[in-house]
Amino acid sequence: MKVFTSCQDAINACSTSHSFALAHLYSDEKPMKMHIHNSYELYFSISGGRQFLIDNRFYTIQPGDLFFINQYESHHLTQIDSQVHERIVFSIYPDYLKELSTPETDLNYCFSCRPENLGHKISLSDEEQKRFRYYVHKLSSIQGYGSDLLEKAVFLELMVYLNHCFSRYAGQNAASKEPEKPEGYHAQVDQILAYIHQNIGQPLAIETLAEHFFLSPSYLCRIFKSTTGTTINKYITAKRITLAKSLLMEGHTVSETAELCGFNDYSNFLKAFTKAVGISPKKYASFT
């Protein structure tokens, strides 16, 4: 199986094959900006990296951390270590995982279940990390006759194992209600993220946000950018696009979706959605 050295190449391969793709990445690839894509993402940290912003939640990244990100969640890697940032990333086509699932075994569970105390991350033990990397090595070694079937079989075994890890980790942390406060945590920015998340369908001009939090617009923009690594407007747009994808999949019309997501201009919605997702809202809705 081909192992990509670019996250974007893996995403493109996944979209083309409608199955899954694997990438092994290092610090020499510039991280993607706040983005959304149509595939699930499994992100395993080997070394380096400091922080992940997924939707409205921050996470500190440590070696052995595994993140589960679905197709409706915007995410952005911030504050990357300048020396080493090695990670393994799977891009997975959602319908492919659904096809592999059974009534007794839902392989989408780790991407669709979001316990408040757990969120998107689990921390694998040394033994779990070894087993995860065993599957990665096995996949990367497959070639020749029957490779398609062998890749599918190993991937299926991997996803059963990861769902088992996710379920067990969620159970172990069920009593924990305190959300993670990563390095560089900024209480005001955390409040701003929560406010945007709760009011994404409403007008969210910078001036309005600044007035709500009793801050100057310039200071608001400065602390948001320094903490998240992206601008408020880019973050809000990404959040609105992720909501739009979900609404379109639920059967809402394009015009209804634009209004519910807080886009006050229909043409701006069409441009923003097409740029972020790669296809128009109408075409995306036709896949439902």
Has residue 159 got a pLDDT over 80? Answer: yes
Minimum mean pLDDT range among 163-167, 171-175, 201-205:
171-175
Q: What is the mean pLDDT of residues 120-128?
A: 93
Are 133 and 207 part of one and the same domain? no
- Overall domain count for the chain: 2
Has residue 29 got a pLDDT over 70? Answer: no
Query: What is the extent of the structural domain holding 281?
Result: 187-285
Are 113 and 246 part of one and the same domain? no
Are 28 and 149 part of one and the same domain? yes
Q: Are the C-beta atoms of residues 81 and 50 closer than 8 Å to each other?
A: yes
Has residue 28 got a pLDDT over 60? Answer: no
Q: What is the CATH number of the domain that holds 215?
A: 1.10.10.60
Are 89 and 116 part of one and the same domain? yes
Q: Is residue 182 part of a domain?
A: no
Are 145 and 23 part of one and the same domain? yes
Are 142 and 191 part of one and the same domain? no
Q: Is residue 204 part of a domain?
A: yes
Tell me what percent of the chain is helix, strand and coil, each rounded to the nearest 5: 50, 15, 35
Are 120 and 200 part of one and the same domain? no
Q: What is the predicted pLDDT for the residue at 141? A: 95
Has residue 223 got a pLDDT over 80? Answer: yes
Are 25 and 83 part of one and the same domain? yes
**CA 271, CA 107: separation in Å to the nearest integer?**
34
Q: What is the mean pLDDT of residues 215-230?
A: 89
Return the percentage of the chain with pLDDT > 90, whole number: 53
pTM of the entire predicted model: 0.79
Tell me what the pLDDT averaged over the chain comes to: 86
Has residue 165 got a pLDDT over 90? Answer: yes
Are 231 and 144 part of one and the same domain? no
